[in-house]
Chains A and B, each alone.
Chain A
């Protein structure tokens, strides 16, 4: 049980790191670009919101299979194939949680508007300078919300993990799968403990994002 909890937190932490690494520049581009087809990209990013996770997981399973072109490329590059590994779970979770991290960050970037960025430009701040010293600090609440939601969503993630995980203790057997197993094997007592833990955790997460938003509204009226 402890192993599953630790693995879940590790997965969520690593996933959140990559979510921010890829999600923030992506959100910035989605917020600032004036190309019409950016909404096509935005839609693709949002797809995991509506796709059943098992469908996404199944496609990932096919796409990442050792014989598939993508799978072969990954194997040539890294020496191993992704399904049934921790790294594979990270890849799946990043894709699946991407909209939850990108959307709040994109909203935050959009809310900044042109004004502070133009002010920075007239003060001789170049594009990267503007991004790091103006956009990022101003979007901090959105970044925090995105990170928290991405983390929380990864913790609760089930379908994708189920499909590409292989239920290997210590490697891919995360909390949600453990709960499922306990239910399946009639160990409802343990399932209850874990499930209650997740309810409490989710409550804390959602409450904290709401408190952050309230704090921000007060600070920047």
Chain B
């Protein structure tokens, strides 16, 4: 993965809303734009696409200026792929014609990718259908394929999952993860779900009230307790690990990471394989002593790095360091007081569950 970064800045007002966002994101990989609804993340995305024109802005990609000073490229002149929240398929065209709409206008740059993308996104059986007859998840997959067939240099995804029900989300996750590994263009992914951030983004930009309040690699940034994302109910950390051992008798796999190892449910991985684990803060508790007499298998030595009050006064968030890895624990304020937890203390992180997400 190359470390080349792209810089962007957009500032201005739309009606009563004012946006002033400046950040860098990697040329390779997926960048999450995270924040509560109304924080301006969709507006920011629309600025990249040229669908909004803010007074001040600067963004260039592959040596082409999209906006700078008085220069402003209209959307149809930008090699951008946009995946809309509600897919926005053309209702008067079949799935195939929706996809061809994009191909025709990509000046041959995506010729030959039709078969590859329709199979990657599982659209083979849907090609002759009208959009009105697709499920939400299917529609979104078509939207993604269509955006990619326009041969973008930058892919923008605006909460592609938010309009889907739980099942549809689960269905579409594998396709997105697939894409993450095959795409060679930078992706900006707007979401307000910490789980999606942890699952398939490499870089994270946290927004609030039109401003960027934190940015960095996803794994590090997720554990920064001063950022609101750490206080979400679904807050958690993604940890990159390698399968080190398989316990066939109990159907467990040992995932080793920098600073420790976890036994997790074996999903048919083989030794040496790379996996990404999601450890949610509410699944982590803290013990002062190692206690083998609990049902929790994973008890990893760790050091308290940071303690932070949550918006909920009964809860405290604790960042735990294990080697270079940082995870979070969500504990009651009373326990933190009774155990007299302090930064720098050596403790044991009891991890009730961790999911392989990639």
Interface SS of B by simple majority: loop
**Cα(A134)–Cα(B91), bound, Å:** 9
- Asked whether, in the complex, the Cβ of A124 is within 8 Å of the Cβ of B105, the reply is yes
Size of B's binding interface in residues, CB under 8 A: 29
Contact partner of A119 (CB less than 8 A), chosen from B50, B79, B84, is B84
Contact partner of A125 (CB less than 8 A), chosen from B81, B82, B105, is B105
Given contacts A115-B84, A115-B86, A116-B88, contact A122 B101 (CB under 8 A): no
Residue of B nearest to A121 (CB): B75
B90 adjacent to chain A (CB < 8 Å): yes
Closest-CB distance, A14 to chain B (whole angstroms): 29
B150 adjacent to chain A (CB < 8 Å): yes
Residue of A nearest to B90 (CB): A116
- Asked whether, in the complex, the Cβ of A123 is within 8 Å of the Cβ of B101, the reply is yes
Size of A's binding interface in residues, CB under 8 A: 22
B51 adjacent to chain A (CB < 8 Å): yes
* Bitwise interface map of B from 143 to 163 toward A, beta carbon under 8 Å scored 1, else 0: 000110010000010000000
B344 adjacent to chain A (CB < 8 Å): no
Residue of A nearest to B152 (CB): A122
A219 adjacent to chain B (CB < 8 Å): yes
Contacts of B86 in A (CB 8 A): 115
A221 adjacent to chain B (CB < 8 Å): yes
Closest-CB distance, A221 to chain B (whole angstroms): 6
A220 adjacent to chain B (CB < 8 Å): yes
| Seed contacts A118-B51, A118-B88; 16 additional CB < 8 Å A-B pairs | A116-B90, A119-B82, A119-B88, A119-B89, A120-B90, A121-B74, A122-B78, A122-B80, A122-B82, A123-B105, A123-B147, A124-B76, A124-B106, A130-B76, A137-B93, A138-B91
A-B contact list, 24 entries, CB within 8 Å? A116-B88, A116-B90, A116-B91, A118-B75, A118-B88, A119-B84, A119-B89, A120-B76, A120-B90, A120-B101, A122-B51, A122-B76, A123-B101, A123-B102, A123-B150, A124-B79, A124-B106, A125-B105, A127-B76, A129-B76, A129-B105, A130-B76, A138-B91, A220-B132
B residues neighboring A (CB under 8 Å): 49-51, 74-82, 84, 86, 88-93, 101-102, 105-106, 132, 146-147, 150, 156
A residues neighboring B (CB under 8 Å): 115-116, 118-127, 129-130, 133-134, 137-138, 140, 219-221
